[in-house]
A and B are shown apart, each in its own frame.
Chain A
C-alpha cells in the first residue's frame, strides 16, 4: 500500500495571506506526483504533474516543489484569494497509471 499523507487536513486563512501545505509519500519506486484542485460539485482540476527530484512548477500564484529522496511535496499559494478556496489533493502516480490519493487539504480563504 502506497500511503499518501497530506497536512494539514484543513486550513483557514485571510485574503492576501500566503499559505502552504504538505504531501508526503513513500520515496521508494517513485514515478510521479500529481496535484489537483477540487471545488465542491466540480471536477478535480489538474494543477501539476511532477517527476524529477527538485522539480519546481508554477501556475499563476500557485507553485509546487518536489523532493523524491525524502518523499514530500509542498504546494504554495501566494496572496490567497477567496476563489482559491477548495480542497487540494495530491496523488502518487504509478507505471500502470493508477493514482494513490491523500485525503486532501481543505483551504478556506476569508475575504
Chain B
C-alpha cells in the first residue's frame, strides 16, 4: 500500500538559508499535518491543511510558511534558518471524512541540520 512520502529525507543547510520540505500524502487523503521533533523532544504540531485550506496552526515560527496544493501534496517553506531549527520534520496524512477518529499516517520524516 502507498505510504506518505517525504522529500528530501536529509537536508543540510547553513544559518540564514532557506529550505523547502515536501510531503506527498496517501492517495485520496485530503488532510496533511506537519510536526517538528527536536533532539530529545516530543513531536510538536506545526500546521495542518484540509482540502488545501489551513485547518489548524500550532507553534510554527513566522519564518515558516506552508501550503497544500491542488494535488494535495504539501510544502513547508523555512526561511532565515536558525541552529534551533535542526530537527526531524514529520508529515502525516488522513482522510478527514472517512478516517476512524482521525487516524493519521506518518511519513519517515525529513532530518534537517542547520550548521
For the side of the interface on A, what is the size category? Answer: 20 to 34
Interface residues of A in 61-108 (CB under 8 A from B): 89, 91, 93, 96-104
Q: In the complex, which residue of chain A has the Cβ closest to the Cβ of B31?
A: A97
Tally of chain B residues near chain A (CB < 8 A) = 30
Q: How far is the CA of A101 from the CA of B50 in the complex (A)?
A: 21
Instruction: Please report the number of residue pairs spanning A and B whose Cβ atoms sit closer than 8 angstroms.
Output: 67
Instruction: Determine whether B98 belongs to the interface, using a CB cutoff of 8 Å to chain A.
Output: no
Instruction: Determine whether B72 belongs to the interface, using a CB cutoff of 8 Å to chain A.
Output: no
Q: Give the interface of A toward B (CB within 8 A).
A: 4, 31-32, 34, 36, 41-46, 49, 51, 89, 91, 93, 96-104
Minimum C-beta distance from B31 to chain A (A): 7
The residues of B that contact A41 with a CB separation of less than 8 Å are 108
